[in-house]
């Protein structure tokens, strides 16, 4: 961006390390694109032709939902879920139906604490409707968005109030986990997510993903805190130039050590994102009556949305 060029580098480096606003959080653009891309290859024979034809669209629009947050005040809450706010006894006590959630928490609280699981279900219904209407532009639009929200629900730090380690003196851990680690390691992942299958109970599958994310939040935070204790402070960070910007980043050796202590957590959450995305695309199509997509015009422009 041009405005950056007029700001001294030192100031930019400081700026980039300040806690980013909540709106800026999401899997890195790289991971979102990879998740949508690999979800295409989970499609069964009846759908893979259609999805492969539109692979470029699904990849390039994998991050549209994040971009909309700057223009749409309703968008931000669709990307996260503050489990600590909602869970009074257990996840089971949280209403699964959106209207019940609205009645219990009210719109303002939902907007403040996040709605990703409810919103994923809404996207599945919209995608189903688009399939039923054989509206190619909308099928692609909702498929790309659905992959985005499913991916966000698989990021542990999207399911906690302490989303950037700001409550535990670990500010910066959000992008560290979901951007830095995948960027440095993604080529070694196998992405094997199997073939998409029909999901009988969409709500249950989506909430299971959120619960699984939240269950590893403690590990995400504690392992990083332990590592900080063991790592020489001077080796934790390094500086990289990105474009014209000098940026302080977690060093490669620190990233590698953290990734090792997490085991295959990041890779696993990516693969589960890919799988659930594929399964929900397929499920929406089945629920729409399995329309024949081969008659849709593959060259139809879909970027007008
Ligand atoms: Zn997001």
How far, in Å, is the centroid of ligand 1 from the Cα of 147?
10
Asked if residue 300 belongs to a domain, the reply is: no
Q: What is the pLDDT of residues 193-230, one digit of tens each?
A: 999 999 999 999 999 999 999 999 999 999 999 999 99
In the predicted model, is pLDDT for residue 12 greater than 70?
A: no
In terms of residue numbers, what domain contains 183?
A: 3-294
Whether residue 240 lies inside any domain: the answer is yes
Q: How many domains does the chain have?
A: 1
pLDDT tens for 48-85 read: 999 999 999 999 999 999 999 888 999 999 999 999 99
Query: 220: CA distance to ligand 1 center in Å?
Result: 19
Q: What is the pLDDT of residue 3?
A: 29
Which CATH number is 287's domain given? 1.10.575.10
pLDDT digits (tens, 9 = 90+) for 151-199: 999 999 999 999 999 999 999 999 999 989 998 888 889 889 999 999 9
The tokens 């699984």 sit on which residue? 212
Burial of 123 (0-12, 13-18, 19+ CB in 10 A): buried
- Classify residue 303: in a domain, yes or no: no
Q: What's the confidence (pLDDT) of residue 240?
A: 87
Q: Compute, in angstroms, the gap from residue 52 CA to the centroid of ligand 1.
A: 23
pTM for this structure? 0.89
> In this model, does residue 10 exceed pLDDT 80?
no
CA of 151 to the centre of ligand 1 (A): 8
First-to-last alpha carbon distance for the chain, in angstroms, is 24
CA of 24 to the centre of ligand 1 (A): 8
- What is the per-residue pLDDT for 11? 34
Task: Please answer whether residues 27 and 179 qualify as being in contact, where contact means their C-beta atoms are separated by less than 8 angstroms.
Answer: yes
Q: What is the whole-number distance in angstroms between the Cα of residue 113 and the centre of ligand 1?
A: 14
- Confirm whether 305 is domain-assigned: no
- Interval between CA 231 and ligand 1 midpoint (Å): 31
Residue 23, in any domain of the structure: yes
């Amino acid at each position: 961006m041009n405005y950056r060029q007029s700001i001294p580098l030192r100031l930019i480096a400081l700026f980039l390390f300040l806690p980013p606003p909540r709106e800026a959080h999401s899997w890195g653009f790289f991971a979102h694109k990879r998740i949508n891309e690999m979800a295409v290859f989970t499609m069964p024979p009846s759908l893979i032709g259609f999805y492969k034809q539109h692979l470029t669209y699904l990849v390039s629009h994998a991050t549209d939902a994040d971009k909309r947050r700057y223009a749409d005040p309703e968008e931000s809450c669709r990307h996260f879920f503050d489990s600590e706010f909602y869970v009074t006894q257990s996840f089971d006590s949280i209403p699964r139906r959106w209207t019940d959630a609205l009645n219990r928490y009210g719109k303002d609280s939902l907007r403040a604490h996040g709605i990703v699981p409810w919103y994923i279900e809404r996207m599945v219904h919209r995608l189903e409707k688009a399939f039923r209407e054989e509206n190619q532009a909308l099928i692609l639009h909702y498929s790309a968005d659905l992959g985005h929200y499913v991916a966000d629900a698989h990021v542990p730090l999207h399911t906690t109030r302490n989303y950037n380690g700001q409550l535990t003196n670990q500010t910066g851990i959000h992008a560290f986990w979901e951007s830095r680690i995948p960027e440095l390691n993604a080529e070694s992942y196998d992405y094997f997510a199997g073939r998409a299958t029909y999901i009988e109970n969409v709500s249950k599958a989506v909430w299971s993903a959120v619960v699984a994310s939240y269950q590893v939040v403690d590990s995400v935070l504690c392992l990083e805190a332990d590592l900080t204790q063991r790592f020489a402070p001077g080796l934790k960070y390094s500086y990289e130039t990105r474009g014209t910007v000098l940026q302080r980043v977690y060093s490669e050796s620190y990233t590698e050590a953290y990734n090792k202590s997490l085991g295959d957590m990041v890779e696993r959450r990516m693969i589960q994102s890919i799988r659930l995305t594929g399964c929900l695309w397929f499920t929406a199509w089945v629920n729409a009556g399995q329309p024949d997509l081969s008659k849709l015009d593959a060259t139809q422009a879909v970027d007008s949305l």
